[in-house]
Amino acid sequence: MTKPAYPAIVGAMNGTQRIEGYAIVAADGMIADAAGVMPDSIRNDADQKFLQAGLDRAAVVVHGRHSHEGGPRAARRKRLVLTRRIAATAPDPSQPNALLWNPAGATFEQALAALGATDGTIAIIGGTEVFGLFLPRFDAFHLTRAPARIPGGRPVFPQTSPPATPEEILTAHGLNPGLRRDIDAAAGITLTTWERRGE
Ligand SMILES: NC(=O)c1ccc[n+]([C@@H]2O[C@H](COP(=O)([O-])OP(=O)(O)OC[C@H]3O[C@@H](n4cnc5c(N)ncnc54)[C@H](OP(=O)(O)O)[C@@H]3O)[C@@H](O)[C@H]2O)c1
């Protein structure tokens, strides 16, 4: 498995930070359709509840400019929004408690410091390129699986050549699966938290 070309952008973390990813992924490994829209076929209330509770505990939420968790408590959360529209970091005029961040111009640590958040759990919520950026650094990844398929959609991780499942990619990047939980058995929704293997 080839590692992404940009792990250096995410510098060394100190001991008080933990990086956790969250995604709900279709049976074919996709998180959105070809137009970049997440279809209702992979939306699930139990997954949303799990995600929102996790984000409530997080110090910072990180996502690309086309993603957002929504919900009534979103505005309270500190967040970094990745974009190439600015050089390094800048306030996000569209929402409170948010900083725009271009990793080409500022390290992750610099962006966190500018946001005023250096400790705690950092929740990474996508999309594809952002998940890829943090793949070498995840301490945990909460992988929800939905039975629907999204032909021609966008994968959870950018590594598609050679073809690999999200589980194979997480394994190749040093994570091990925990127990698989049926969080909505009627809808066929499962959740597995992957944790980084010890050295
Ligand atoms: N199923 C799931 O769990 C899940 C998770 C996340 C997202 N989604 C869905 O996926 C869709 C969006 O996917 P997406 O991959 O297009 O969205 P995205 O990552 O939210 O946004 C992409 C944008 O983020 C910025 N960006 C990404 N990587 C960057 C980098 N390395 N450096 C600087 N800027 C960077 C760029 O913004 P600029 O264009 O401003 O430069 C890019 O156009 C939405 O429908 C969303 O709901 C689903």
Residue to mutate, 6, 55, 130, ligand 1, most ligand atoms under 8 Å from C-beta: 130
pLDDT at 8: 39
pLDDT at 9: 42
Cα distance from N-terminal residue to C-terminal residue, the chain: 19
Residue to mutate, 33, 65, 192, ligand 1, most ligand atoms under 8 Å from C-beta: 65
90: left (phi over 0), alpha (psi -120 to 50) or beta: beta
Choose which CATH entry (3.20.20.70, 1.20.1440.130, 3.40.50.720, 3.40.430.10) describes domain 15-66+122-196.
3.40.430.10
Question: Whose CA is closest to 99, among 61, 132, 67?
Answer: 61
Q: What ranges do the domains of the chain cover? A: 15-66+122-196
**Residue 156's CB: how many other CB atoms inside 10 A?**
26
In this structure, are residues 3 and 136 in contact, taking their beta carbons and an 8 Å threshold?
Answer: yes
**Residue 95's CB: how many other CB atoms inside 10 A?**
13
Q: Which positions of the chain have pLDDT values less than 50?
A: 1-13
pLDDT digits (tens, 9 = 90+) for 78-107: 999 999 999 999 999 999 999 999 999 999
CA–centroid distance, residue 68 to ligand 1 (Å): 9
pLDDT at 10: 45
Beta bridge pairs of residue 113: none
**Ligand 1 and 31: CB distance under 6 A:** yes
Task: Output the residue whose Cα is nearest ligand 1's atom 4.
Answer: 31
pLDDT at 6: 39
Q: Which atom of ligand 1 sits closest to the CA of residue 126?
A: 6
**Ligand 1 and 10: CB distance under 6 A:** no
CA–centroid distance, residue 164 to ligand 1 (Å): 21
